[in-house]
Amino acid sequence: MSLKQMLEERALPPLRPQEEMVELLQREEYGFLPPADAAETSFSTPKTIEHAAPNGAVLSEIQMTVQNTHGSHTLPVHYLSVPDGKKHPLFVFLSFSRATVNRYYPMEMLAERGFHVLSFCCTDAVSDDGDFSNGVAPLLLPGGQKKGDDCGKIAMWAWCAIRVLEYGLTLPETDAGQTAVIGHSRLGKTALFAGMMEPRFRYVFSNSGGCAGDSLYRGNLGVRGEKGPFGNTGETVSAITRVFPFWFCPNYRRFAGTNIPETFDQHFLLASIAPRFVSVAASAEDDWADPVSEQLCCLAASEAWEKRGLPGLVHRDALLTPGEALLSGRVAFQLRAGAHFLSYRNWLWDMDYMELHRDDAL
Ligand code: GCU
């Protein structure tokens, strides 16, 4: 069966004008991103903590303080840079760990290829649970979630990632035209949301964002251990809202009954990044995120680029086999062998993707 036929079977809602999709996804899924001036953000002078990486690269720590009349919160941000007087591309990396030595972060490899990275740990910004009284939450959403479209934790992490980008853009060594946001899993969802909301991110990398990230809902109706009508076993709205309702706005829970948000599917999120660059990384054994629904999501979103005369996902009309990556369009898709993970292989493809499209006009 051709990929087009596979997509037709899923009967997706057609893409809408970009402003409508951006509004809809905030209202129905993630909640509205707090405005940039919801709180003031300041950054301390970087303090070097390590000279360990190659190229004379330096790892430093910066304190980011967010404050307004509701209070103040400070979190550490790490900065990996190669101080050679030249401009470098910059990743804003949403991390699961405050420790920079962690298995998702091949720091030396990034430094060796000349990439700068500003990273922070999501739970240093705000806890990954239903508590809206810690971190930046009481500053961005005083009193917690009250309305159906009040933002959840994904939008709060994204708000912080955008502030970190703004800091990066003040640094003379940042190549302002080569900025990226990257995250894995729940932070892949966050990278996509941040990328949709912030046009200064030229590249958006979702690593196994899965349900409510880079995977389609339609056609992905299984629950763990049970095959859905399309043979998939992926995560559903009911599963994700049962365990992680706080990532989203309260309105989103309305879709838990049918598992199908009537007015949208996740190709809206990818399409809202056009004409910039978005890359989805899936892994072959990740049934929960469903690599087939991730590839089809990329394909369905591509129309947003194609109608602008730009290439979306450039493919050969077949599901990828593990180890393959489609990097030549403005929508990229990578399929890594193995399990749900952010591996050095993904970072390599991501850096290749940025280098390949360095000079493409937006
Ligand atoms: C759970 C959740 C996923 C999420 C993942 C993660 O598996 O169901 O939606 O992507 O956690 O963030 O690790």
Q: What pLDDT, in 10s, does the model give residues 172-204?
A: 999 999 999 999 999 999 999 999 999 999 999
Residue 240, ligand 1, Cβ within 6 A: yes
Residue 122, ligand 1, Cβ within 6 A: no
Alpha-carbon distances of 356 from 86, 91, 164, 361, rounded to whole Å: 19, 16, 25, 12
- Determine the straight-line distance between the first and last CA of the chain, rounded to whole angstroms: 34
Q: Which two tokens stand for residue 191?
A: 């990278």
Cα(357) to centroid(ligand 1), Å: 30
Q: What is the pLDDT of residues 139-155, one digit of tens each?
A: 999 999 999 999 999 99
Residue 185, ligand 1, Cβ within 6 A: yes
Q: Which two tokens stand for residue 244?
A: 């992680």
Chosen CATH of 3-356 out of 3.10.560.10, 3.30.450.40, 3.40.50.1820, 3.30.1180.10: 3.40.50.1820
CA pair distance 85, 294, nearest whole angstrom: 40
Residue 186, ligand 1, Cβ within 6 A: yes
What pLDDT score does 233 carry? 67
Does this model's pTM top 0.85? My answer is yes
Residue ranges of domains in the chain:
3-356
What pLDDT score does 55 carry? 80
Q: Which positions of the chain have pLDDT values less than 70?
A: 52-53, 221-233
Half-sphere exposure of 210 (CA within 13 A, CB side): 26
Cα(185) to centroid(ligand 1), Å: 6
Residue 234, ligand 1, Cβ within 6 A: no
- 256 φ, ψ (degrees, to nearest 5): -70, -25
Can you list the positions of beta strands (E) in the chain?
Answer: 40-43, 47-50, 58-68, 71-81, 88-95, 116-121, 174-184, 203-207, 277-283, 324-326, 331-336
Q: Which two tokens stand for residue 302?
A: 């591509």
